[in-house]
A = this chain, B = another copy of it.
Amino acid sequence: MNSFGRIFRVTIFGESHGESVGLTIDGCPAGLPLMEDDFITDTERRKGGMQKGTTPRKEEDIPIFKSGVYNKHTTGAPLTILFENKNTRSLDYEKQRAIPRPGHADFVANKKFGGYEDFRGGGHFSGRLTVSLVAAGVVAKKLLSSPLEKDTKIKITASITEIGGEADIEQGLQKAIDAKDSVGGIIECVVSGLPIGLGEPFFDSVESLLSHAVFAIPAVRGIEFGTGFPAARMFGSEHNDAIQDMEGKTKTNHAGGVVGGLTNGNPLVFRAAIKPTSSTPKEQESLNWDTGLIEQFSVKGRHDLCIALRVPVVLEAVTAIVLADLLMLEQRIPGIITN
């Protein structure tokens, strides 16, 4: 299924080289101000900007509202937004179809959909669809910052902590350039201002829902909360966060803001590991379906040296989607937004 969320429910659709990609949000409250301009910052961030390493195809990524917006506000009806695909070069992909690209979904998609899949540019598997996630995130973030009860002020910030194994982004990218190869990275997301008690024990734990959404982002290979994997090497007395006051503030935050599946009022902290871009400039070997032989092969098309550079805004987006849904379930975002 291409949908996520129980009340604030996002559906994404589209293919890399089809007419457009898009999304529908069902369950978005009425009255939220929403305009094209609200999307610019995040859709631009997703493009990866001027940094070396990101040379994605240039799409304008102007949101086209197809339903659910009237007089610059959400109506409460399903909100459908399209982004046109203009800058596509499908010919590149037609040529190389016989050789499934290593690290990409070409092979598995073909097996699953019997050859009917739109394979051009990865089709529905393409990172192009993250623009739909980002757009849903824009709406979710606006909900999170709409006047909630009292002085709650939720803030989501994802940032790069590591590229190509280096803490310095420039250095990590240079490594890739020097090696004529691609690199990965690690992104950390921090959310402050959350109320206590979002989530449920077991299946709908905050970690379950967030990881579900985070692994929807292509190239994510791992996720950890708070201290994460290193927690497995700590003593219990070290890892436990001592509660300090009646609001649940803890002395340390090894738990990353989630205990028993529920937010505990401290900053929510988690990290995602992003694999190196599969489309590396290096020659690789892969199978040629037509001949059944292993061939040397190098990927055509425009690609990023380091896809991780573009992930922070997508990570924020899926986080906002999860939190908007949880806040609505807890009745902390009203059904009609009024100011």
Interface residues of A (CB under 8 A from B): 1-4, 6-7, 9, 11-15, 18-22, 24, 26-27, 30-31, 65-68, 70-71, 73-80, 82, 100, 102-105, 107-109, 111-114, 116-118, 122-125, 129, 162, 164-165, 176, 179, 181-186, 196-197, 200-205, 207-209, 211-216, 218, 220-229, 231-246, 248, 254-256, 259-264, 273-280, 282, 284-287, 289, 292, 294, 308, 329-331, 334-336, 338
Contact = CB atoms under 8 A, between A and B. Distances in A.
Contacts of A285: 242
B329 A7 contact: yes
Contacts of A21: 67
Given A18-B67, A80-B13, A114-B338, A215 B207 contact: yes
B236 A203 contact: no
Contact of A232 (B15, B274, B282, B329): B274
Number of copies of this chain in the oligomer? 4
A113 B75 CA distance: 7
Given A212-B212, A222-B229, A248-B107, A31 B75 contact: no
Nearest to A17: B70
A182 B238 CA distance: 10
Given A12-B202, A284-B242, A335-B331, A113 B26 contact: no
Nearest to A164: B233
B280 A237 contact: yes
Given A11-B26, A107-B243, A209-B212, 8 more contacts: A2-B202, A104-B259, A108-B248, A109-B262, A129-B202, A184-B232, A208-B216, A237-B282
